[in-house]
Amino acid sequence: MKRSLAKSAGVLIVLLALAACSDKDSSAGDASKEPDLGAIAQRVATDDVAFPLDAYRLTDEQRTSVARARAGLAASCMKRFGFDIQPPPMSTPSRVGGPNSRVYGIGSLERAQTYGFHLMESEKKEPHKQEEVSPAAVSVMTGKGQASSNGQEIPEGGCLGEAARLIRKGGPAVADDDYAGALALEASQRAKKDSRLLKAFSDWSACMRDRGFNYRNPSDPENDRALIAGAEVTGQEISVAVADVECKKTTNVVGVWFAVDTAYQKQAMEQHASELQKAKETIDAMVRNAGGQ
């Protein structure tokens, strides 16, 4: 009787284990399904769009403020070791439209007709001349090469490491200041394999071929070095840019792309809720600490 009960218990354990594996497989299958998109809006430009994961990332203004404060903290650290390193000038990027205005390339026919894929004058950055830094200063800055300098122990990771820790003070320990950005990139890569977006790319590509241009998706023209290699905008570049915008309008590839990216970002948010909460606490601490510099 005991042997029979033991055997039954063993069978029950095996069945429970199989059921658990079955549940995991089913869950994995659900996660691998293409997410629902809901209603797809008609879009060409993306000046006003916001992605779900943007809420867990620094804004342009905050990123500049944090970078400026971190550079100042690193410079103060360097002074303790006798090095006068001036932080480079930093300013918030100048954009025509919102922070996601060129996430899918250009969306303005007027801009295409004038600038092609080139930046407008107001968007260009003035080049900054890099200050010459001695090997000894680099060692103190990075923490590589020596353990001490001028009789003082170099902080872990050098002055850059010290500045990073100070700017994150009060927030959770994380490996990546822009965890949500990494998730967004991963979601974007998954989105590019989605059948609905691939169909939209194919429609756009066919539209471009009808106009005499051979590109697979809307990212290709802006990465065509032969097309936009020079500083001056060429007639060929303008022709391609105009065709790009017109094909975006007729195929609604931007509307589909935004809907697919959004769906995969929401999926990532559900799967990484606790990590994203830490990411939010981290950027809140960084913004708070940057304000005190």
Could you report the average pLDDT of every consecutive run of 10 residues in the chain (293 residues)? 42 36 39 88 93 96 94 96 89 75 94 91 64 89 92 95 96 89 97 98 98 97 92 95 98 98 98 96 96 71
Closest to 46 in 3D by CA, of 227, 257, 187: 257
pLDDT for 84 equals 93
Structure tokens at 126: 């003035």
| Alpha carbon distance 108, 245 (integer Å) | 7
pLDDT for 98 equals 80
Tell me the pTM.
0.81
pLDDT for 230 equals 85
Using CB atoms within 10 A of its CB, is residue 259 exposed (0-12), middle (13-18) or buried (19+)?
buried
How crowded is the C-beta side of 63, counted as CA atoms within 13 Å? 13
Closest to 67 in 3D by CA, of 134, 130, 160: 160
Rounded to the nearest 10 degrees, what angle do helices 60-80 and 135-142 cross at?
A: 120
| Alpha carbon distance 180, 53 (integer Å) | 6
Structure tokens at 197: 């977006």
Q: Where are the domains of the chain?
A: 51-291
